[in-house]
Each structure stands twice: as structure tokens, then as C-alpha cells.
Amino acid sequence: MRPFAYVKPADVAAAVQAVATEPGAKFLGGGTNLVDLMREGIERPDTVVDVSSLPLDTVDELPDGGLRIGALVRNSALAADRRVLARYPLLSQALLAGASAQLRNMATVGGNLLQRTRCPYFYDAAAACNKREPGAGCDALGGFNRGSAILGVSESCIATHPSDMCVALAALDAVVEARSVRGTRRIPLADFHLLPGDTPEVETALTPDELITAVELPALPVAARSRYRKVRDRASYAFALVSVAAALEVRDGTVTEVRLALGGVASKPWRAWEAERALLGAPATEAEFRRAAEAELAPATVRPANAFKANLARATIVAVLRELEAA
């Protein structure tokens, strides 16, 4: 690991000022991803700004009945929060599906939002990776790509986003709050993560000097009837091949409200807008669920090794919607 300066600011204002005045600085929360990347030489900050002690670790009520989740709330604490369990069960389920209990005890909400891909070529310094080294190429295109993305891909990158939590947040219309010396801004989660295009190294809408301070969840009654399902190679400590976060409301046999997001299939948490449009106002039947899943996966770009993901995603969408309809 290369040498770096270490700063531990006393408050949020000092934290954003430190990053604004130190080029090449990075914020450190729980460190479950950043420290690993520093050890591998992928992240090389000149300065590490430790924000782990800042007062951003509470879950608070919003006037509309939603929740404001501090960026330093630990994944394990959020998963166990009674308000989350009652109002947004898919979020708790997603958090518990990710990593080990020890990692969940350290990992923060803000850090989870900024997780970088687990593509093996990203971690292999001998491999070509545009995300790690812009302009180098992408060895995954013609290499081992069983776990690679099938939606929103480009000729520059087919890496997947690894987070479970972010898939649930995408379905819940979450909003990310970020602070810099210029002030505070709010970024809808649907716009927070970026598709690779020609610049896969630019992964989020954040600027380098912005600190995530909170995530807000709107009051969303349909979310009380929700599920998160993760399909993976083994039952523990594995990243998703496909995951589905869904919330569904059915009245008189008709879908009146639906939220749907996918994981393991794109370089960002994938909000399934096409499937939602197909389902809204449709009969809550398996045939309609299947039709909506087909619409969402129609633009998939598959390769021989990951072509199974399209069928797996369709089947998982249908299964989760059937389970919610029957509940």
C-alpha cells in the first residue's frame, strides 16, 4: 500500500473542506471496500479523510412518514430497524442478503452506495480494464464473463454493480443527499449510478468533493408488501447472478401499484421501468407478469457465458410477483 496522509475531521463542514483542499483525497467510512481497493493498488488516495465518527449514524422520521437514513448507519443496524422491517421489508431483506454479519457490522449506507464492481478483470492489474484504467480496453468482453452485465452495457464495460442494498433503494424511489463546500444537493437514486457508456470509470453522479450525508426514503405504502430475492451460486457470501426487489399492490385482481428493480444484470441498480409500465393496470396474473418480464429483458445484450441471466431474470421476476400477489 502506498503512503497517504490521514485526516479525521471534527464535523461535516471540516470533512468537505478537507477534500476540497486536498486533491486526490477519499472519504473513509466503514472501509470494507475502500481499504481492500487500496491494498490492491486500485484506489490510490493521497489523503484519506476519516468520516467514521461524524454524527451521521441515525435513522430519523420524516414529516411525510418516510425515513432519513444517515450515511454512517451500519448495514446491520438498518436491517434490524423496526421501522424498516415494517415499512420497507425488501430493504432489510436485501441488506441481510449481502456479505457476512461481520462485514454488515462495519459497512455503512454511504459506503454501500459507492461500492465498486467485483469484476475479476477490475481487480487483476495484468488485465485490461477501462474502469480501472481508462482506454485500456475490456478483457471481459471476450473473456470470462459469466457474471457480467446484460442490460445497459457498452463496448467499454460489461461489469455489474455488486450492491444488494442499492437494488432495494432503487425500487423505493430513494434520494441521496450529498454535501460539498458549495452546499447540499439531492440526487434521485435512479440518477445516482451511471451506465458505463464510453466512460466506465465515472460510476456515480457525485463530484469528487461531495460527501454522502443521508439517504431519504419517501412514504411508500406499497413497500410494506415487498420482497427481495437474490439468486446466487451459493447460499452465503456470494454476489447476485440476478436479484429482484419488488413491491406490489393488487385490487380486484388488477395491479394498481408496482415497484421493480433488478440486480446482477447491469452496471447500476436497474429500475425495471418497462416492466412497471406493462404491469400497471394489468391483471395480476402469471401471464401478465411474464409479459412484463419479457418487455424488460427484451434489450438484453448477452454473451454465450451469461446468456442464462436473461431467462433467470425473467423467471425470478415472475416468481417474486407471484409470491407478492398470493401474500
pLDDT digits (tens, 9 = 90+) for 272-287: 999 999 999 999 999 9
DSSP H or E segment with residue 16: helix 12-21
Average of per-residue pLDDT across 294-304 = 98
pLDDT band at 237 (very low <50, low <70, confident <90, very high): confident
**Structure confidence by residue, pLDDT tens digits, 83-104:** 999 999 999 999 999 988 899 9
Residue 294 pLDDT > 90: yes
Q: In a 3-state reduction of DSSP, which class is residue 285?
A: coil
**Neighbour order of strands in the sheet with 67-70:** 59-61, 67-70, 211-217, 175-180, 183-188
Q: How far is CA 178 from the centre of its chain?
A: 16
Where does the pLDDT of residue 162 fall: very low under 50, low under 70, confident under 90, or very high at 90 and above?
very high
Checking 278-282 for CB contacts under 8 A at 24+ apart, the result is 279/255, 279/321, 280/255, 280/256, 281/254, 281/255, 281/256, 282/254, 282/255
- Pairing state between β 254-263 and 175-180: unpaired
Contact yes or no for 201/213 (Cβ under 8 A): no
C-alpha–C-alpha distance, residues 262 and 256, integer Å: 20
Q: Spell out the domains of the chain, with CATH numbers in brackets.
A: 1-55 (3.30.43.10), 226-326 (3.30.390.50)
Whole-angstrom distance, CA of residue 238 vs CA of residue 100: 10
Does residue 222 have a pLDDT over 80? yes
Residue 1 clears pLDDT 80, i.e. is over it: no
Q: pLDDT band at 12, cuts 50/70/90?
A: very high
Q: Mean pLDDT across the stretch 215-228?
A: 98
Read off the pTM.
Answer: 0.96
